[in-house]
Structure 1
C-alpha cells in the first residue's frame, strides 16, 4: 500500500470505479455451461454463484472442480498457471484436461480426497509440471495449493475449490538469501558490503533499481545499481560509485535510515523529490528498509518501474536481507576504523616520497597481510648519501602490533643516521645490530627479531654493494642487448638477524644501465604448505618474464607472483638503472567536473612536444581520462597526475588523497562518463595497477614505446 515517511510524497488515491473484467473472466461468462454438469448460469445454486464471482474477481489462481467429473472453471491466474491447456480446459473434466498428470501422486488423488471425504487439504511446496512445455523440458514449478470441499446452499458437497500459489520465486529467493549470507561473511569493508548487496538484491528481487546508503559524518553516502548497467571485472575491483548526500535528503533510503521505519509504495512516484536522472524518475514502486545496527545507520531500497504489490513474504525476505546487510555493515565499519588507524600508523613511518634521480628510477609498495587490522613491522627506504650514491633498504621487524611498528620506526631512523655517517653496508648493519641488542635488553625481551638488507647504488661506476642480516636475497633483472631479460638472486651471505651478534659480509655486483634491483620481504614468497624455495623460483621467473624493468611494474609483478593469500605484510622496493634519463611532468588536477578534459589537453600537448608516437598518445589519453574520472568519482578530491617517459616506456599515474569529499559544483552524475571501464586500460596498456600511499591511493599504467 502507498505510504509516507518524512518528506517522501504520497500519490493521491485512484478514483473509484468498476473493477475491470479480465479476458479469462469474459471467456468463462460466455462459455456454454448448459452443456456441462454445472448447467446454465441462471440456474446455478446461489452458493455456487457466489463462489464463482469470488474466483473470477480474485488475482490469486483459483479453480473449481465441479461434480463427480470435476468439470473445470477457473480464473485468469489459474489460466496462466496451466499454460497452453487454456482455453480448452474450460467446462471439461479435469481427468481429461490433465490426463498426463491426473494419476500422478499429489494431483488427482488430493482432489478426490477433498471431494469424497469432505476434508480440506494443504499441499506445501509441491513440485508440479503444470505446463506441457515445462514438463517436456524437465522444468518444474513449485506450488503451495489448498483444496477445500465446495457445498451448495443445502450443505451438499458439489465440488472442490483449489487455490494455488506458485512459490518457485520465493524458494529461489530463500536459497539466494543463504548464498547472500555466505557472501557477506567474506566482506571486510563497506565497499565490499555494497558490491555484494547491490549484486544480490538486483538479481534476487529481479529489481530495476537498488540503493544502499550509510551514514558519513554529518551526511550520508549512497550507491546504486540499475538493471542493465554493465560493469566489467576491472570495474568491480574499484570501489563502488558512492554519492555524497545531504543529511536532510528526501531520498526514501535516507528517510528510512534516519527514522528506522520501513517504507513501502506500491504505485506512485516515490523518488520524485530526490530523483537525479531518468532512471529514478521511472521508478513507480519502492521498498526501503533501515539497517539494524548499533554502530552504523543506513538503509537498503529496492524499486521497480511498474506497480508492485509488496506481499508479506516479500517484506519478510527484504527485512531478513536488511538484517544481514546491517550486521555486515557493522563489522565493516569496525574493521575500517581499526584498519585505518593501523595503516595510518604503518604508512606514517614509511617515506612519503622517494628520491627523483636522473639515471635511477625508484618505486616501492607496501600491502598489509590478510588481517590488515594491525600495524606491521615491514619497512623500506631510499635516500641520497653524502657521496651522491643512493642508499636502499628493506627490512622486517617481527610482529603485527603497535610495538612492532614503533620498533620499525626506530630501526629505520637509526639505519638512515648510521648510513649518513658511514655508508658502508657492513658498517651500517653492525651498528644496527648493537642498537637492536640494546633495545632487547632495555625492554627485557629476547624476542626482538629483525631482518634487513641494505645496499649502496653507485650509478657512475655501475655497481651495487649489498649486505644482509638474515633477509631473503636481493634479485636483479638484467636487460640484454637483444631485448631479452634474465633474473637472478644476488649471491649474498644472509648472516644472522640483527640483535644476535650479526657479522655482515658485503657483496659488490654489476648494476649496468637496463638492470633493475628488487628488494622484498618474506611475505612476497612465503605461503602455507609451500616451500620457500618454490616461492623464490616463482618470483625469479615472474620478474624475468615481466614486460619491462620499470620499478613500479616490477613491484606489482612481485607482489602478485606467488599464488595464494599471505598472512604476512608485503613490502617491495625496486630501483632501475635507466638506459637514458627519463623525462617527467606533473599536473595538479582540481576536484572539478572539467578536470578530466583539462588533463586530456595537457597530456596531449606534453606528449606531442616529446615526440611520442601518435598511437601511444591516443592510448595514453584515453586511459588517463578514465583514471582521472574515477579519481573524481571515488575520492571526490584533487589529484596529482604524473607522467614519466623513457626510451622504453611511458608511465602515467593518478594519485588521490583518499578522502571522500564533495566534487566541486557538480554531482557525480554530471561528470564525464566512466567510459568503457578499466577494461579499457587493460586492453590499451602493457601493465597497470593500484598502489596504496600514505594518504590515499595511486592508480597507474604503463605503455611500451615501439622500437624504431
Structure 2
C-alpha cells in the first residue's frame, strides 16, 4: 500500500555511484530528512534510494514525490523549471510548493491517482501558469508523465514525474509558420536572404547565421551576427553579399554541394573561413542544404558555445531550409523574368535625353503592377532639323511584351515622322495610320494608344502641342508677384490613335523660367477617386514645389496624388532656363576609395565655379553619403552628375543595380555604414529618388544664396 518509505533495520554502506554533492543533488543530500516522515536518507529502502540517485544523476527534468504528503526531491533539470522555488522546494509537500496549480485538473489529482492505483499517467501537452519568480506568472507548456515508485517489498511509496517544457518547441513551430508566411511575400533573393537571416537569428537564438546560393561561376554569401543593429531602414536595404569561389569549402557551400547537412557540436568549424572575430568564436555549427530542384544553396546556424544538435532542432532546420529553398526558386524565376522585362523596357526608352544649355530635361518612369512586366508608357525628347525640341509622352494599353513591342513601334515611327515634318498635327495623323495598320494586321480593334506631342521653339518662346486622347500637359510659370502658378494647357484631347485621329494644334507661350510637365494617366488616376481630384492635386503640388527644376518636378509629380496605382507612371519635364547652367560628371568605380575621390573631384569643381563655401561643404558631404550608399547597397559602379545654375545646385548619383530601391520613409538611418539620408534631408532644400529601368538615381538640390 502507499505509505511511508520502507526502512531497513541496519543502514547499508553507501550505494556505489551516488551522486556528487553539487547543484540539486547537494540540496537533496543535505536536506534534514530526519525531520520528515521519510526519516534520514541513509535509512531509506535501497530501491527507493536507488531511484532517487538515478533521478539526481539524470539530465532530464525529473521529480520524485514520496509518502502521503508527496514530499519533493528533484534533479538539476527540474530545478531549472521551477526557478526561484529551488532549493526551498526540497523536502516540502508538493501542494505547498505549487499552490496555484496543484488543485488544477490533471496536476495534483493525477499524482494522487498514480500514487493510489499504481497506474501510469501521460499528458502530452498542457499549459500551466507557473510562478517561477516572485510577481511573475508564466504560461508554460509541459509534457508530463507520472509512474509509481515501489520499495523492495513492492509497495508504492512515491510517484516519479518526468516533465519536459515544450513551450520552446511550440514557439519554434509557430515561428516556422510565420516564417513561411514571410517568405511567401518575397520577390528577390535579397528579400529571401533578409527574411531567412532574421528568422534564423531569432528562432534559434543563434550567435551567427549565414545564407548562400550558387551563382553558377561562384557562390554568393550573406551573414548576420547577434547584436547587429538592424532597424527598419536597414532591413529594407539589399544585404551585403560577399563572393566565394566556385571551389570554396565554406560549411554552407560544402553542405549545399554534398546535398547533406553538416553538424559540429564543438570545435572551430569556421577557422579556415573566418572573416572576423565573430566567425572565429563559433564553436557549434549546423549547415543544411536548401531542398530545391533548381537553386543550390544552404543555411547555417552557429553558436559560440558547444551545443549538441537534438533531433528536433535538426528537423526544424531541415524544414526551414526547405522553405528557403522554395522561396529562392520563386525569387530566381522572378528575377529572370524581371530582368527580361527590364531589358526590353531599356531598349524602348531613350538612353539619354538631350543636353542643352537653355533647356533642362528630366524624365521618370515607374513600372506598374509588380514591376515584373514590361509596360506601354513611353517618353522621348529629341532635336529637330528646324532647331526645335520635340517632346512626346504616350501610353499603349497593356502590361505585357506585346504592349511594349507596340510602344517601341509607335515611338520609333513618331520620331521618324517628326524628323520629316515636325508639325504636331501631321505627326499624330501619320501615327494614326500606323496604329490602324497594326490593328488590322493583328486582327484586333483593341489597340488603344494615346499620345501628346509638342515642339518647343526657344527663339520664339513658343510651345506647340497636339494630343490624341492624352491628358493635357501642365505648365509651371513664375507669376509677377514671384509666386509660381501651374495651369493645364488648353489643348483638345482628340481621339486616341487608330480611330481616325485628326487633332488640332495649340500654341502657347513658353518663356524662360517656365517648366512643362507631360505625364501619363497613372500619375493622376486612383481607384475610388475622381480624375478631377487627381488633376487638382498634381497642379497644386507642382505650383508648390521649391523650384522649377525638371528632376525635382518629376519626383513631385509622381508623389502628388496619394494612394497606390497599378498603372505605369511616366513623367517628362522640360525647363526653359533663365540662364544656362554648367554641368560636370564623374564615373565612380565600385572601389573602397571611390567616395574620397568623389569628394576631392567635387570640391575642386565647385571651387572652380566659385560656389559659396557653405554650399560646397554641404554638397560634398551629401554627395559622399550618396556615393557610399550606391556602392554598398547597389553593388555597382555609379555616376555622379552636378548641374549648377544661378538659382540652384543639383547633384545626382545613379547606379545600374536593380537589387533595391531607396525609400523616403525612415531615412535617418538609411545607410548602415554612414550617417544616413537624414543628413541629406537636413542639408538640402529638396531631394528624391528616381527608380529607372537602369537602376536608381538619388538626387538633391541646394538653392543658391541670394547675393
- In the superposition, the TM-score normalised over structure 2's length comes to 0.90
- 143-152 vs 605-614, which moves further: 605-614
User: Relative to structure 1, is the Cα distance of residues 368 and 269 closer, same or farther in structure 2, using a 3 angstrom cutoff?
Assistant: same
Equivalent residue for 2:662? none
Does 1:602 find its partner at 2:601?
A: yes
Give the 3-state SS of the residue equivalent to 1:369 in structure 2: coil
CA-to-partner distance for each residue in 1:325-363, whole Å, 9 max, x for gaps?
111111111111112112201111110111111122111
2:440 matched to 1:438?
no
Does 2:247 match 1:244?
A: no
| Partner in structure 1 of residue 577 of structure 2 | 578
Are 2:97 and 1:100 equivalent residues in the alignment? no
Deviant stretches of 4+, over 6 Å? 18-21
**Deviation string, structure 1 residues 165-199 (Cα, Å, up to 9, x no partner):** 22223222222222222221121111221222222
Structure 1 residue 701 corresponds to structure 2 residue 700: yes
Structure 1 residues 106-131: Cα deviation after superposition (integer angstroms, max 9, x where no partner) = 33222212222222222333222322
Shift of 1:673: 7.5
Moved more, 621-630 or 393-402: 621-630
Q: Distance in 2 between matches of 1:82 and 1:244?
A: 48
Q: Find the aligned partners of 2:652 and 2:235 in 1 and give their Cα distance.
A: 20
Greater shift in the superposed pair: 317-326 or 116-125: 116-125
Equivalent residues of 1:254, 1:299 under 8 A apart: yes
State how many pairs are aligned.
679
Corresponding residue number in structure 1 for 2:299? 300
Q: Partner of 2:87 in structure 1?
A: 87
Contact 1:211 1:302 in 2 (8 A): yes
| Partner deviation per Cα, 1:342-399 (whole Å, 9 max, x = no partner) | 2201111110111111122111122222233332211110111222221111111122
Residue 521 of structure 1 corresponds to 520
1:117 is aligned to 2:112: no
Name the counterpart of 1:355: 354
Cα-to-partner distance string for 1:520-560 (whole Å, 9 max, x where unaligned): 21222233333333333333333333333322222223223
Aligned to 2:274: 275
Change in CA separation of 1:352 and 1:537 when aligned onto 2, cut-off 3 Å: same
Answer yes or no: is 1:70 the counterpart of 2:70. yes
SS in 2 for 1:129: strand
Cα distance in structure 2, aligned partners of 1:657 and 1:507: 39
How many Å apart are 1:693 and its aligned residue? 4.3
Q: Specify the structure having the higher radius of gyration (Cα).
A: 2
Structure 1 equivalent of residue 189 of structure 2: 190
Q: What is the CA distance between 1:683 and its match in structure 2?
A: 4.3
Shift of 1:250: 2.0
> How far apart are residue 455 of structure 1 and its match?
1.4
1:379 aligns with 2:378: yes
> Deviations 1:604-632 (Å, cap 9, x if unpaired)?
22223333344433333333223323333
Q: 2:650–2:700: 8 Å Cα contact kept in structure 1?
A: yes
What's the counterpart of residue 402 of structure 2? 403
Q: 567-576 or 616-625, which moves further after superposition? A: 616-625
Deviation at 1:706, TM superposition (A): 4.4
Partner of 1:34: 34
What residue number does 1:458 align with?
Answer: 457
Give the 3-state SS of the residue equivalent to 1:172 in structure 2.
helix
2:234–2:672: 8 Å Cα contact kept in structure 1? no
Is 1:539 the equivalent of 2:538?
Answer: yes
**Is this contact kept in 2: 1:241–1:633, CA < 8 A?**
yes
- 1:636·1:659 contact (CA, 8 Å) conserved in 2? no
C-alpha distance in structure 2 between counterparts of 1:68 and 1:615, whole Å: 87
Aligned mates of 1:410, 1:20 — CA distance in 2: 88
Following the alignment from structure 1 to structure 2, what is the Cα–Cα distance between the partners of residues 196 and 560?
A: 29
Residues 148 and 408 of structure 1, relative CA distance in 2, 3 Å threshold: same
Cα shift at 1:574: 1.4
Larger mean CA deviation between 572-581 and 38-47 belongs to: 38-47
- Compute the displacement of 1:65 (Å): 1.2
Paired residues of 1:242 and 1:634 also in contact (CA < 8 A) = no
The CA distance in 2 between the partners of 1:208 and 1:596, in whole Å, is 32
- TM-score normalized with structure 1 length: 0.90
Could you say what secondary structure the match of 2:465 adopts? strand
Matched residue SS, 2:130: coil
What is the Cα deviation at residue 287 of structure 1? 1.9
Aligned CA distance change for structure 1 residues 113 and 614 (closer, same or farther; 3 Å)? farther
Maintained 8 Å contact 2:588/2:639: yes
The verdict on how the C-alpha distance between 1:189 and 1:683 changes in structure 2, with shifts beyond 3 A counting, is farther
* Compared CA separation, residues 533 and 120, structure 1 to 2 (3 A): farther
Residue range with higher mean Cα deviation, 386-395 or 573-582: 573-582
* Change in CA separation of 1:200 and 1:554 when aligned onto 2, cut-off 3 Å: farther
**Where does structure 2 lack aligned partners over 5 or more consecutive residues?**
1-17, 660-670
* Superposition pairs of residues 440-519 of structure 1, within 5 angstroms: 440-480=439-479, 484-519=483-518
Contact persistence 1:81–1:131 (CA under 8 A): no
1-side partners of 2:469 and 2:349: how far apart?
21
Quote the Cα distance in structure 2 between the aligned partners of 1:702 and 1:22: 70
Equivalent residue, structure 1, for 2:262: 263
Take 2:197 and 2:411, find their aligned partners in 1: how far apart are those partners?
A: 44
